[in-house]
Structure 1
C-alpha cells in the first residue's frame, strides 16, 4: 500500500549523487578508499573515540563486537529484551546466551538497577541499547562492569550525535555499534560502524574486518606483505556505500537539527493529551542530549494502540509499533533466558506507537498530530 504520509522516506539529493559519481570516476569501488577514510576520521573526531571502522551494517558491527569481547559457548551477555534481533543474534552466533532483564518505564532502556542481580560466573558482558537515541544510565552501568570485570557493548544503532552527561554515545563502552540503515538519522541505505574505545583491541578488529588478514597494516605500509593471521570475515562496505554516507556526515549536525525540530513539533502537539492522561510522550532525562531519532506515544493499552494505528492508516498515514520483546520470541526462548518477569517490557512494548519522522516531513507533522488528537480525544 502506498501511504500519503509514509513512515520513512530516505534522503538522498545532489550531494549524494556527486559523491557516488566521484567514487565511480576515481575507480576505487572496494572498501577502505578515500570516502571510507573520510568517514572514519569524521566519526573519530566528532564522537571522541579511539577507532572507527565502517562495516556493511550495524549488525556486522555487533558481530565484530561479540568476537572482540572474546565470547565463548556458554558465556552470558546481559541485555534488554526490548531491542532488535541483531543485538541478541550477534551474541548467539558466538555460542553465548542472551540474559534478558527488564527496562525502565521512563526511557524504555535497560534498567541498570536490575543488572547486578542477573550476573553469574558465566557473565562476560553487558549490552546496552540506547533506545530512540536516548542514553542509558551509563555511569552506574560502567561501575557495575568495572566491579565485576565485564565488558560493555553499546548498541548505539539509533544514537549517533546523542550524548550522556556530555559524552557522545558510542564513546563510553569498550565497543559500540552504529547503523546507517535508511531508517536511521544518518544513512547509507545499508551500512554501519564499529566504534572502539579500547586501544588494545584495535589491531585485532582490523584483522577480523579484513577476512582474518593483516591487510590493513599492509595498506598503511607497516608490513611488506599480508597474510591470514586470525579468524575474521569480510565486513568492509564498498566505496559506493561510504560515498553516500559521507554526503550525510558532511551535514550531520544540520540533519540532526531538522529531526529535532520535527520531534519537538510533535512533542508540543501532544502536551495537552498527556496532561489529560490520554497518552504519554517520550521522556528525555535532563543529563541526556537526544538526536530526535524516534517519536513515539504510549497509549493506555494495546487495544487503543492498535486502534490508533488502524485509524492513521485509514487516513493514509503509516504509523507502526516497535519490537516484539525478544524473550517472548521463538528464538529468544530457544537461545536466551529472562531474569524476572519483564513486566515493563511486555506492557510498554504493547502500548507503543511510532509516528512518521523523516527529513522533509515538514507540515505533515501537523496532519499526523491532528489525526491522533481527533482519534484519541474523548
Structure 2
C-alpha cells in the first residue's frame, strides 16, 4: 500500500467561509469595502493597534502602496535584507528606487540591525524590515537608527499575523506595515493582504492611493460632496467575497495560531537530538519575540547535501521545501539593486535551510513521519 503524501502546505478552512460568502452574495455588494471588509478592518485595527488597516488584494499590493506613500523618486534607496521574497524589492523598484541589500543575523535570519547604519547614504529614504518566519526583527534598534537619520520604517510582516515584539503586534511598529493572507500563510483568503498605516498623517493618503488616487472613501463618509482624482494611485481593493472568506479566518485566528504553535513545539522537542548530534540547527526565538509558528525550518549542518536530503524525504512521500534564492544574486537583483558589504550569512544560510510541512490538521502521525523521514535522510548523508 502506497504511503499518503504529506505536502508542505495544506490550506486550512474553518468551516464558516462559504456561509459568509453566501451572505455577501445575498447582500448583493460584491465590490470592495463592503460589510465584511469593514469587519476585517476593525478586527485588524483592534488586534494590532494600528491607526488604520486597509485590506488589499495581496501583500505585494500593500508594499506597493507603501512605496507610493513614501513618495520615492528614481535613485532613492531603501535598505532591506536580500533573504526575502521578491515583492519586498519589487514594490520599491517600481518607483525607481534602489534596494540596498544588507546581510542577515545568524540566529533569526532577519536583517542585521548592526549593519544598517553603515549602509545609509544621502539617498536613503527608508528601511524595509522583513519578519522572517513570523519572528520579529530587533525593532527598537532599527527605530532608533531611523529616527537618527530621518528615515521611514516599513515592516514586511507578510508572515507575521498574530506575532509580536515586546507585546506590540508586528506590522504596527514601523510607519507602515504589510500583511499577507496568501493560502500559504497562517490566516488566509486565497490571495489577499493588508496595509497598516501606523503614522496618522499617512492615513488619508493611504485611503486615496488605495482608491485609484481618489477621495472616494471620504465621499462615502459624507465628508465631501463628490469625489475626484487627487494623486497617483491604483485599484488595491480586494472584492467582498475575498473579505468574507478572510473574516471567517480572522474569527478563528487565535485557535489557528495555537494549533500551529503546538505542532511547532512538537517539532522543536523531537529534533533536539539531531541538533545535539551536530546534524542541524533548530530555529532560535529571541526572548522579546512571540512568534506565530508560521514555519518550522532547520539549518542543515555545513557539508550536508540539501538536495539529497530533500530527495530522500520525497522518496518517503514527505515534501519539505527550501526557501528564497537571495535577491542580491538574482539577475534582477544585480540589475536594480546593490549589496552593501559581505552577504556571507545570507549566501550560506539560504543554502542550508529546509522548511518542514506545517499546517493545521497535520496531526501527530503525519508529523512523526516527517521527523522519521528527516532523521533517516540525515543518517544516510
Name the TM-score, length of structure 1 as normaliser: 0.98
- Runs of at least 4 residues off by over 4 Å: none
1:208 aligns with 2:203: no
Write the deviation string for residues 181-224 of structure 1: whole angstroms up to 9, x where unpaired. Answer: 00001000000000011011111110000001110111111111
**Alignment map for 1:253-332 (pairs within 5 Å):** 253-301=254-302, 303-332=304-333
Match of 2:109 in 1: 108
Match of 2:195 in 1: 194
CA contact (8 A) 2:14 2:248 kept: no
What is the deviation of 1:376? 1.5
CA contact (8 A) 1:208 1:232 kept: yes
Distance (Å, rounded) in 2 between the aligned partners of 1:149 and 1:35: 37
What is the deviation of 1:3? 7.1
Distance (Å, rounded) in 2 between the aligned partners of 1:307 and 1:88: 31
Match of 2:16 in 1: 15
Match of 2:379 in 1: 377
What is the deviation of 1:302? 6.6
What secondary structure sits across from 2:274 in the alignment? helix
CA contact (8 A) 2:11 2:183 kept: yes
Match of 2:156 in 1: 155
CA contact (8 A) 2:99 2:338 kept: yes
**Alignment map for 1:218-257 (pairs within 5 Å):** 218-257=219-258
Match of 1:122 in 2: 123
Match of 1:368 among 353, 367, 370: 370
What secondary structure sits across from 1:319 in the alignment? coil
Unaligned runs of 5+ in 2: none
Distance (Å, rounded) in 2 between the aligned partners of 1:239 and 1:29: 5
What secondary structure sits across from 1:115 in the alignment? helix
What is the deviation of 1:304? 2.4
What is the deviation of 1:63? 0.1
The answer to which of 360-369 and 124-133 deviates more is 360-369
What is the deviation of 1:117? 0.3
Distance (Å, rounded) in 2 between the aligned partners of 1:252 and 1:14: 13
CA contact (8 A) 2:211 2:234 kept: yes
Taking only aligned residues, the RMSD between alpha carbons, in angstroms, comes to 1.1
Distance (Å, rounded) in 2 between the aligned partners of 1:88 and 1:377: 39
Distance (Å, rounded) in 2 between the aligned partners of 1:190 and 1:302: 38
**Cα gap change, 1:3 to 1:341, in 2 (>3 Å):** farther
Match of 1:134 in 2: 135
What secondary structure sits across from 2:16 in the alignment? helix
Question: How many aligned residue pairs are there?
Answer: 377
CA contact (8 A) 1:163 1:289 kept: yes
What secondary structure sits across from 1:14 in the alignment? coil
Distance (Å, rounded) in 2 between the aligned partners of 1:302 and 1:115: 30
**Cα gap change, 1:211 to 1:333, in 2 (>3 Å):** same
Write the deviation string for residues 266-298 of structure 1: whole angstroms up to 9, x where unpaired. Answer: 111100111111100000011110000010010
Distance (Å, rounded) in 1 between the aligned partners of 2:25 and 2:55: 19
Match of 1:34 in 2: 35
**Alignment map for 1:44-193 (pairs within 5 Å):** 44-193=45-194
Distance (Å, rounded) in 1 between the aligned partners of 2:4 and 2:110: 31
The answer to which of 65-74 and 143-152 deviates more is 65-74
CA contact (8 A) 1:39 1:242 kept: yes
CA contact (8 A) 1:3 1:318 kept: no
Name the TM-score, length of structure 2 as normaliser: 0.97
CA contact (8 A) 1:302 1:351 kept: no
CA contact (8 A) 2:318 2:373 kept: no
What is the deviation of 1:54? 0.2
Unaligned runs of 5+ in 1: none
